[in-house]
Amino acid sequence: MPLDHEQLVAMYRALSGTRIAEQTITDLNKSGVLRGHHSGLGHEAVGVAVGMAVRPDDCVQMSHRSGMMLSHARGGYSLREAVLSQFGRAPSHYASLPGRPRTLTIVGLVGTWVPMSVGISMADRLRGKDTVTVTFFGDGAANEGAVHEAMNLAGARRLPMVFLIENNGMAVSMPTSEATAASDFAARAAGYGMPGVLVDGHDPVALHEVAEEAVARARRGQGPTLIEAKLIRWESHANGIADLRTPEEIEEAHRRDGVRQLRDALIGQGILSEADADAIDDAARAEVDAAVEEGRTAGFDMTVPPPMDAADAWRLTYAN
């Protein structure tokens, strides 16, 4: 179903807000106030669009790029929390919290995190639920064996899943074009007996449409879909790591910015006035700025915990 005006405005609000929050977090890292961020600038559209296409009881495993945007768009995760979490003052967007939309953690090894999402889907099926599991990972991670095994397993069991490849054209310094000779990752779907859909990862409306269709298909019992969202990240891989790309490549990313495009479209179609849009942006900026102030004042949580003995270690590590 095409988005109605209200939804489009909500989409813009989420895009604008998460862009402002992400830009702020990225800047705080560049200036040394925060440390060690994988900037999601340029990935807002995919996070927000997919977030709007799933139910709270669907399970989403988020990536290190668009997770914050997705959590925000699904509801229950404010921009304030997004900023404060960077200061160690609020749970991160990965946390599964009661009353919040259902999420699945990732782990520090890319690719490795994908198979467990297949298990979530299998468990839900065992319980007779009609939920869908969505798993995000990058173009780089897609070359890991575990991802292959997971997608094949989902296909073979016709699981209600969506595999979402955020193809930002790079894995740290490795251009996707050197990491695989495949013209696109969507082409891999046939090898697992599922449809593969290629979509412009900058375009939130197009993204929402394919995500909604894939989720619906899964919910109808027709099995998994592989969606490849092609986009360009604005920043280097992570704070402190040199970006080897040409300025032209990065300019291209800004030219295709989906946040601005949706803004222009909504204004062009008369859904929002310039002033409405500005008001949306300003509100987000105010929330973000206040959160930064709050975080800075609180300071980092750098306290060294008390000495730990074997019993503490056991309790933290084992359930029983």
Partner 1 sequence: MGSTLYINAINRALHEEMARDNEVVAIGLDIGRQGGLFGVTRGLFERFGPSRVMDTPISEAGYMGAAIGMAMEGVRPVVEIQFADFVTVAFDQIVTVAAKMHYMTGGGKNVPIVVRLPYGVNVSGEGYMTGAGPHHSQSPEAWFCHCPGLKVVMPSSPADALGLLKAAIRDNDPVIYFEQKGLYYTLSGEVPEDGEDHIVPIGKAAVRREGTDATIVATGAMVGLSLAVAEKLAGEGVSVEVVDPRTLVPLDRETLVASVRKTGRVVVTHEASQTGGFGAEVAAVLADDAYASLRAPVKRVAARDMPVPAGLAARAALPGEARIEKAVRAVLGK
Cα–Cα separations (whole angstroms), residue 132 to 57, 154, 214, 312: 8, 12, 10, 37
Contact between 188 and ligand TPP by CB under 6 A: the answer reads no
The Cα 50–Cα 204 span in angstroms is 9
Q: For residue 274, what is the enclosing H or E element? A: helix 274-298
Report the residue number, 90 or 153, with the smaller CB distance to Mg ion: 153
Among 32, 183, 268, 310, binds partner 1 (CB under 8 A): 310
Cα–Cα separations (whole angstroms), residue 173 to 178, 239, 256, 265: 10, 13, 21, 34
Query: Which residue in this structure is represented by tokens 């990972």?
Result: 137
| E strand spans, 65-210 | 103-104, 133-138, 161-167, 170-171, 174-175, 196-200
Contact between 274 and a second copy by CB under 8 A: the answer reads no
Contact between 183 and partner 1 by CB under 8 A: the answer reads no
Among 61, 143, 225, 236, binds a second copy (CB under 8 A): 143
Q: Is 124 helix (H, G, I), strand (E, B) or coil?
A: helix
Among 48, 170, 229, 266, binds ligand TPP (CB under 6 A): 170
Contact between 179 and a second copy by CB under 8 A: the answer reads yes
Q: Which of 294, 155, 314, 122 is nearest to 222 (CA)?
A: 155
Q: Which residue is nearest to Mg ion (CB)?
A: 138
Q: For residue 60, what is the enclosing H or E element? A: strand 59-61
Contact between 123 and partner 1 by CB under 8 A: the answer reads yes
Contact between 302 and partner 1 by CB under 8 A: the answer reads yes
Contact between 248 and a second copy by CB under 8 A: the answer reads no
Contact 284, 278 (CB under 8 A): no
Q: CB under 6 A: which stretch of 79-87, 170-178, 262-270, 283-291 binds ligand TPP?
A: 170-178
The Cα 280–Cα 19 span in angstroms is 12
Q: For residue 320, what is the enclosing H or E element? A: none
- Interaction with partner 1 in 225-284: which residues (CB under 8 A)? 241-242, 244
Contact between 178 and a second copy by CB under 8 A: the answer reads yes
Contact between 217 and a second copy by CB under 8 A: the answer reads no
Amino acid at 237: H
Cα 50–chain centre separation: 8
Among 139, 209, 212, 235, binds Mg ion (CB under 5 A): 139
Q: Which of 72, 55, 41, 43 is nearest to 229 (CA)?
A: 43
Beta carbon of residue 214, minimum distance to a second copy (angstroms, whole number): 16
In the beta sheet, which residues pair with residue 138? 166
185 binds, among ligand TPP, partner 1, a second copy, none (CB under 5 to 8 A by kind): a second copy
Contact between 111 and ligand TPP by CB under 6 A: the answer reads yes
Q: Which of 55, 67, 50 is nearest to 113 (CA)?
A: 67
- Interaction with Mg ion in 153-212: which residues (CB under 5 A)? 168, 170-171
Contact pattern for ligand TPP over residues 123 through 142, marking x by CB under 6 A: --------------xxxxx-
Contact between 65 and ligand TPP by CB under 6 A: the answer reads yes
Total number of residues binding partner 1 (CB under 8 A)?
64
Q: Which of 3, 133, 154 is nearest to 55 (CA)?
A: 133
Report the residue number, 86 or 168, with the smaller CB distance to Mg ion: 168
- Contacting positions for Mg ion (CB under 5 A): 138-140, 168, 170-171
- Contacting positions for partner 1 (CB under 8 A): 36, 95-96, 104-105, 107-124, 126-127, 140-141, 143-146, 148-150, 152-153, 156, 171-174, 178-180, 241-242, 244, 302-310, 312-314, 316-320
